[in-house]
Amino acid sequence: MTQPHPSTASEPVVSVRNVTNRFGKQLVHDKLNLDIYPGEIFAIVGGSGSGKSVLLRTILGLRKPASGNVHVLGYDIDQLTETAARRVHRNWGVLYQNGALFSALTVAENIELPLIEHLRLPEKVVHELALLKLSMVGLPPDTAGKLPAELSGGMVKRAALARALALDPKLLFLDEPTSGLDPIGADAFDHLILELRNQLVLTVVMITHDLDTLFGICDRVGVLVDHHMIAGTLDELVKNPHPWIKDYFGGARAARARNAAQQETRDS
Amino acid sequence: MKPVKHSKPTLRRKTDNPKDAAIYQLAGDWVSEQADSCVTLLDHFAPHNDSVGLEGAAVTHMDITGAWLLVNRVLEMQRDGQTVTLSGFDERAAHFLQQADDLRRQPVQPPPPCPTLRQVILTKADSISRSLLTSLSFLGEFWLLVGATLRHPGTFRLRAFVKQCDVAAVRAAPIVAFTSFLIAIVLAYQGSAQLQRFGAQIFSIDLVTISVLREMGVLLTAIMVAGRSGSAFAAEIGTMKLNEELDALKTTGMEPMEVLVLPRVLALTVMMPLLTFLGDMTSFVGCGLLTVSTTSTSWQLFYARLTGAVHMKDFWIGVGKAPVFGLMIALVGCYHGLSVANSAESVGRETTNAVVNAIFAVMLADALFSIVFTMIGI
């Protein structure tokens, strides 16, 4: 959508090769391939049960695929040495669907946790960096001392995003970032992600159902259908003849979201 | 695309000629991975000149953390009256510096004051009185529900009751039986070793069987059940509460008290005497096994001694306490489950409390029973 332009010429940040996943006899992914390039916002979409979360978990190394391999930031995610694992973990951030903030820790402590784990810094600096991250995601400083249970849904997502950004990662994974937010909150969150991507030169990979997000900020979209992934820009996908993709992007909701996004581009 | 290995940041005076203006050159990577080097570098950076120039053209990478650490030091120097000028940073670094500067200038709110001793005591007293009140209201609600269920027995959840009998008690049977067996062996061994000195080894059978029937059997069963089932009640109900399942029950028109608490409490109340009976019997087996195998006592003699020493009264005293203990364990477990608030940590805390408080309550009640039984002479 906007700068920096993703270049398909450079080496991919995430590269999934021939990944097959199955639960017992049920096939989820069949030799699935996927490349995500530096600087792009890539969305994974698909119907319920199409294996979006399974794919994300596979990319994150939380699930070992039945066959095939996954490279993230140049490392084979299933064969990480200890040092490589540390390098990968400090160069990615993950925002889980429900935030997954540690409920026993305050918001500030949640953000400080990866900083303390990976960097050797004075306590005061760690705390101030946590406050910096908090303000980057647009949360007031007084949230720092609160417990996750005291936050609203939207604030939890922002706090979790601040934690994901704690180590200035190159790669950000978002699992349904706008689910459970009101339209205004969802819009603001979309803009926040876009802004952070542009400022911090992030690669963003997200699972989303939000058509406004898709049309508003995503550079490329991967659709999970028939155990495979069909990836492309939105313009390419809209023309795709596959019936599910046709339904998905051809529906009334998609048309409205698309018009709204175009309107916004014209206005700005 | 492997992540680049970042080089160390540096900060050097541009020329050694002291007549030159104090211009320092930054180089290397000012990024979060090198944050510790940045901090050390900036901590030792203390030029005495009134005006200091920082040149950033040689900086290879800068992220928001690096920018923020630099700006932090610059602002400190400015507060000390030095003029600091930044120049030559590339567009992105300049943007980060600007952003860090804006953020740093925002007013910092003071940390909350440390509470005084008086405040600490007051808060603690407040929370204790609150928990006393809520536990009282829990008990009140429970007995009202018992009354209502007695008037309308149709509302009782028989299916849940049967399930809890199975999960909380029947499945606890093996471990209760086994621990009772082991404790009886230990008691019999110790008893016979001590009594041997008086030539009264045979009385260890009296010692073990009577103490097991009156006290040890039921206490041991209560401890096992509190650790196994009381904790499960607390953790299960607590997790349901976190997951908003209790709210879902309420809005469907089902009271958690009726659906979750009553079947569990009744199940333990009914099953505890049976478990205690089982524990008593395996204790006898353990005691007999040890006595017969280590002394010249035969099984016939053991049986004769056992029936001679033990009265039905002893049995009823132990088993009679069991339903009370079961009731207390289940009530404490469910109460703590319902007290869970908002966090995984609180599930853990309440589960611990459920076990500790249940065992404490059982011990306390047992002591009261002893006093009462002594007073009425049984």
Residues A63-80 have pLDDT tens digits of 889 999 999 998 998 888
B-chain CB neighbours of A199 within 8 Å are 64, 95-96, 99
pLDDT at position A41 is 93
* CATH code 3.30.750.24 region(s) in chain B: 10-105
A4 pLDDT exceeds 70? no
Picking from A168, A203, A205 by the largest number of B CB atoms within 10 A of its own CB, the best residue to mutate is A168
- Across the strands, what pairs with A69? A17
- CA-CA distance, B119 to B180, in Å (whole number)? 48
pLDDT at position A6 is 46
Q: How far is A220 from chain B (nearest CA, A)?
A: 19
Of A190, A196, A247, which is closest to residue A223 (Cα–Cα)?
A247
Q: Which residue of B has its CA nearest to A171?
A: B3
Nearest CB partner across the interface for B342, out of A91, A103, A167:
A103
Nearest CB partner across the interface for A168, out of B31, B99, B109:
B31
Give residue A120's identity as a one-letter amino acid code.
R
Q: How many CB atoms lie within 10 A of CB B281?
A: 15
pLDDT at position B108 is 64
Q: Which residue of B has its CA nearest to A90?
A: B33
Q: Which residues contact B147 (CB under 8 A, 6 or more apart)?
A: none
Cα distances from A128 to residues A36, A132, A168, A219, in angstroms, run: 33, 6, 15, 34
pLDDT at position B270 is 96
Q: How far is A42 from chain B (nearest CA, A)?
A: 17
- CA-CA distance, B66 to B95, in Å (whole number)? 12
Per-residue pLDDT band for B18 (boundaries 50, 70, 90) equals low
| CB–CB contact A103 B35 (8 Å) | no
| CB–CB contact A201 B92 (8 Å) | yes
Q: How far is B55 from chain A (nearest CA, A)?
A: 22
The ipTM value here is 0.72
A-chain CB neighbours of B99 within 8 Å are 199
Q: How far is B2 from chain A (nearest CA, A)?
A: 4
Nearest CB partner across the interface for A12, out of B1, B33, B342:
B1
Interface list for chain A against chain B, based on CB atoms closer than 8 Å? 10-13, 38, 73-75, 87, 90-91, 103-104, 119-122, 125, 128-129, 132, 135-136, 141-142, 145, 147-149, 167-168, 170, 199-201
CATH superfamily placement of domain B10-105: STAS domain (3.30.750.24)
| Stretch among B63-67, B262-266, B280-284, B323-327 having the lowest mean pLDDT | B63-67
Residues A214-226 have pLDDT tens digits of 888 999 999 999 8
Average pLDDT across chain B, whole number:
89
Contact (Cβ atoms closer than 8 angstroms) between residue B157 and residue B261: no
B-chain CB neighbours of A132 within 8 Å are 64-65, 68, 100, 103
Residues A210-264 have pLDDT tens digits of 888 888 899 999 999 989 999 999 888 888 888 888 888 888 788 888 888 888 7
Picking from B65, B99, B345 by the largest number of A CB atoms within 10 A of its own CB, the best residue to mutate is B65
B317 pLDDT exceeds 90? yes
Nearest CB partner across the interface for A149, out of B2, B72, B343:
B343
Average pLDDT over every residue of B133-150: 94
pLDDT at position B271 is 95
User: Which run of H or of E encompasses A134?
Assistant: helix A123-136
Average pLDDT over every residue of B109-132: 87
| CB–CB contact B1 A129 (8 Å) | no
B-chain CB neighbours of A38 within 8 Å are 1
Residues B169-224 have pLDDT tens digits of 999 999 999 999 999 999 999 998 898 888 888 888 998 999 999 999 999 999 99
A-chain CB neighbours of B2 within 8 Å are 73-75
Rg over alpha carbons for chain A, rounded to the nearest Å, is: 19
Of A137, A134, A114, A115, which is closest to residue A126 (Cα–Cα)?
A115
pLDDT at position A10 is 78
Of B165, B371, B154, B377, which is closest to residue B263 (Cα–Cα)?
B165
User: Which run of H or of E encompasses A253?
Assistant: helix A252-267
pLDDT at position B107 is 65
pLDDT at position A2 is 42
Residues B78-111 have pLDDT tens digits of 888 888 888 888 888 888 888 788 777 766 666 6
Q: Which residue of A has its CA nearest to B104?
A: A132
- The reported pTM is 0.72
- CA-CA distance, B131 to B349, in Å (whole number)? 14
Per-residue pLDDT band for B73 (boundaries 50, 70, 90) equals confident
Residues A27-41 have pLDDT tens digits of 999 999 999 999 999
pLDDT at position B367 is 95
pLDDT at position A5 is 46
- B294: helix, coil or strand? helix
Instruction: Using DSSP bridges, classify how beta strands A26-36 and A14-23 pair: parallel, antiparallel or unpaired.
Output: antiparallel
pLDDT at position B176 is 95
| CB–CB contact B1 A73 (8 Å) | yes
Q: Which of A139-143, B171-175, B293-297 has the highest mean pLDDT?
A: B171-175
